[in-house]
């Protein structure tokens, strides 16, 4: 199985400051079709997960442009350019290239 | 508007069974692959199972293989998860989530809580 490793586990951030979350996979996430199926999800307290980013760097509809995804192969990053209070929650990466599908362990973003 | 509404959760004894349902609306259900994802209390997300749009292709996590069965009824716009031989470690909120590949988990339901305890 592909192991997804996120860091850090916890990320205290000052409002208005940037934040960055790393996600590494135990093997390449490049599919035979040429796509890289790496998604990012946000889970606010008490809510269901919400997809933010698909295929590494594509923002879902309605997702603020302060969220961006980058990376390739086995190393990926989610960046928040300026953290707002509504960004508090846990962020997960997920690979959709190899079966079984797997999630990272999550990164908790909180306000300092 | 896409909506996914799970139901069927509850308290069940170890070794017991439960059937979860996910009612879909706001999109052409028969055209979409579907997944079950679970989250144990205070823990992270774990993918459980996938079913193709026609139901012909199915995958399971090793942790549930042989005990859980995913199915769908496209005429009723519904997804199901039959859970047998339940264990304490199956205690979790179970979410249905739409899609695979580029559409992977683009929409989620609100979840239904399954508690396995004597």
| B104 inside 8 A of chain A by CB | yes
- Three-state DSSP state, B102: helix
In Å, how far is A35's CA from the nearest CA of chain B?
A: 9
- CA gap B108, B9 in Å, rounded: 16
pLDDT tens readout for residues B84-109: 999 999 999 999 999 999 999 999 99
- As a whole number, mean pLDDT of residues B55-83 equals 98
* pLDDT in the model for residue B117: 97
Please answer yes or no on whether A104 and B44 come within 8 Å at the CB atom. yes
Q: Where are the beta strands (DSSP E) in chain A?
A: 4-7, 10-13, 19-25, 38-43, 50-54, 58-59, 67-72, 75-80, 89-95, 102-103, 107-111
Q: Which residue of A has its CA nearest to B41?
A: A46
Nearest to B108 among A48, A60, A106 (CB): A48
Mean pLDDT of chain B: 98
The minimum CA-CA distance between B106 and chain A, rounded to whole Å, is 6
| Chain segment A44-72, per-residue pLDDT in tens | 999 999 999 999 999 999 999 999 999 99
């Amino acid at each position: 199985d592909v192991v997804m490793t996120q860091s850090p586990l916890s990320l205290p951030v000052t409002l208005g400051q940037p934040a960055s979350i790393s996600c590494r996979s135990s093997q390449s996430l490049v599919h035979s079709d040429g796509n890289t199926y790496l998604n990012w999800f946000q889970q606010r307290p008490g809510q269901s997960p919400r997809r933010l980013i698909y295929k590494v760097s594509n923002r879902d509809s309605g997702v603020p442009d302060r969220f961006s995804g980058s990376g390739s192969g086995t190393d990926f990053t989610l960046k928040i350019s300026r953290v707002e209070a509504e960004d508090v929650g846990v962020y997960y990466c997920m690979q959709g290239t190899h079966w079984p599908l797997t999630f990272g362990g999550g990164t908790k973003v909180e306000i300092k | 508007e896409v909506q996914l509404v799970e139901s069927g959760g509850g308290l069940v004894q170890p070794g017991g069974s439960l059937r979860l349902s996910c009612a879909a609306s706001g999109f052409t259900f028969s055209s979409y692959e579907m997944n079950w994802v679970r989250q144990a209390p205070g823990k992270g997300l774990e993918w459980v199972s996938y079913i193709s749009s026609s139901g012909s292709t199915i995958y399971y996590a090793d942790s549930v293989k042989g005990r859980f069965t995913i199915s769908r009824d496209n005429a009723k716009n519904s997804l199901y998860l039959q859970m047998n031989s339940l264990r304490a470690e199956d205690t979790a909120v179970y979410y249905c989530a739409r899609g695979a590949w580029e559409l992977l988990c683009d929409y989620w339901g609100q979840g239904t809580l399954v508690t396995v305890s004597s």
